[in-house]
Amino acid sequence: MNLIELVKEEKIVAIVRGIKQEDSLATVEALVEGGIRLIEVTMNTEGVLEIIQQWRKRFENENVYIGAGTVLDTEMAQAAIDAGAQFLVTPNLDEDVVKLAIEQEIDIIPGVMTPTEIVKAVKAGAKVVKLFPAGTLGVKYIKEIKGPLSHVPILATGGVNLDNINEFLEQDIVGVGLGGSLVKKDMLENKNFKALTELARKYVTAAKGV
**Domain count for the chain:** 1
Is pLDDT above 70 for 27? yes
Residue 114: CB partners within 8 Å, gap ≥ 6? none
* Stated pTM of the model: 0.96
The per-residue pLDDT for 3 is 77
List the catalytic residues: 40, 130
Is pLDDT above 70 for 1? no
The per-residue pLDDT for 113 is 97
The per-residue pLDDT for 49 is 98
Range of the domain at 180: 3-208
pLDDT digits (tens, 9 = 90+) for 50-86: 999 999 999 998 999 999 999 999 999 999 999 999 9
% of the chain at pLDDT higher than 70: 100
By the 8 A CB rule, do 88 and 68 touch?
A: yes
Residue 107: CB partners within 8 Å, gap ≥ 6? 1, 3, 86, 87, 88, 101, 127, 128
For the domain that residue 74 is a member of, what is the CATH number? 3.20.20.70
For residue 56, count other CB atoms closer than 10 A to its CB: 16
Residue 189: CB partners within 8 Å, gap ≥ 6? none
The per-residue pLDDT for 42 is 98
pLDDT digits (tens, 9 = 90+) for 89-146: 999 999 999 999 999 999 999 999 999 999 999 999 999 999 999 999 999 999 999 9
- 192-204 mean pLDDT: 98
Please state, rounded to an integer, the average pLDDT across all residues of the chain: 96
